[in-house]
């Protein structure tokens, strides 16, 4: 057991976060995202919502200040009207936990472009999130002078 590690982070995810380097990307997938098809490495978090995983990850990992868009979300398809409600939750969580100061806004990516980018991710986290269009990609920043810590 360790202190100060969010309890929603399973050991496999902690290992992946520790092994990630600057510029590596992590996918947070909703319940419908094909994580095991899209990424070389997957961690399944049964019963955990994407918002919980996002907040826990950001308590440990800085976002990349050297890129304009360290946070990317999947754009809804043509049949979906409006903005997915979970995006406002994501925005609130990121603004409250981005200790690097890298976050400005979420960049939207078309579904298949998102899938292609996910294939190059370091790890995908399969959550039990059932909100539509709850998938996102985070780019890891640096620890030190530019991390805010």
Q: Match 């996102």 to its residue by tokens.
A: 136
Catalytic residue among 24, 30, 64, 98: 64
Catalytic residue among 44, 69, 91, 115: 115
22 is catalytic: yes
30 is catalytic: no
User: Would you say 57 and 137 are in contact if contact means Cβ atoms under 8 Å apart?
Assistant: no
64 is catalytic: yes
Alpha helix ranges (H) inside the chain: 11-19, 35-38, 50-60, 86-97, 111-118
Task: For residue 1, count other CB atoms closer than 10 A to its CB.
Answer: 3
Q: Which residues are catalytic?
A: 22, 64, 115
């Amino acid at each position: 057991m360790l202190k100060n590690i969010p309890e929603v982070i399973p050991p496999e995810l902690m290992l992946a976060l520790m092994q990630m380097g600057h510029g590596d990307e992590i996918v947070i997938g909703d319940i419908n995202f094909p994580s095991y098809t899209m990424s070389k490495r997957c961690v399944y978090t049964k019963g955990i919502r994407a918002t919980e995983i996002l907040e826990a990850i950001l308590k440990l990992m800085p976002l990349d200040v050297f890129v304009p868009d360290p946070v990317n979300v999947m754009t809804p398809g043509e049949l979906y009207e409006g903005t997915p409600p979970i995006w406002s939750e994501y925005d609130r969580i990121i603004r409250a936990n981005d200790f690097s100061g890298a976050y400005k806004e979420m960049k939207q990516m078309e579904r298949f472009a998102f899938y292609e980018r996910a294939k190059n991710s370091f790890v995908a986290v399969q959550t039990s999130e059932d909100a539509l269009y709850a998938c996102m990609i985070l780019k890891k920043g640096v620890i030190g002078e530019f991390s805010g810590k």
